Amino acid sequence: MIEVRKLTKRYGPKVAVDGLDFTAAPGQVTGFLGPNGAGKSTTMRMIVGLDRPTSGTATVNGRRYAQHAAPLQEIGVLLEARAVHPGRTAYSHLLGLARTHGIPRGRV
């Protein structure tokens, strides 16, 4: 489960995410919709610890992402499609990640 509470991110005077609250339940697909600059990627970056929130919290299964012994076994995120080799299918990309992180093929 992903829980976000009062999550805020500021870059100087610019507010990228403002007091966001939501819960993404296990086994359900949750999507972020909005125009460029709405804070979708910034929110995901804060959930997985790539950006530090100005305030608020984001937890994955009750802990901050970085506190998990094997974080990729809890949640994965693809923020840039350019991060995937263009000659690979989505399945082969995920399979490679799974194999290097002890995740069974059946979860791919």
As given in the structure block, the two tokens for residue 41 are: 């990627």
CATH code for the domain defined by 2-69: 3.40.50.300
Spatial separation of the C-alpha atoms in residues 71 and 52, rounded to whole Å: 17
The pTM score is 0.77
Domains of the chain by residue range: 2-69, 78-108
Strands 14-24 and 55-60: unpaired
As given in the structure block, the two tokens for residue 29 are: 């697909």
Q: What is the pLDDT of residues 74-93, one digit of tens each?
A: 877 777 767 777 888 888 88
Q: What is the pLDDT of residues 16-26, one digit of tens each?
A: 999 999 999 98
**Closest of 106, 22, 5 to residue 58, by C-alpha:** 5
User: Letter for the amino acid at 82?
Assistant: R
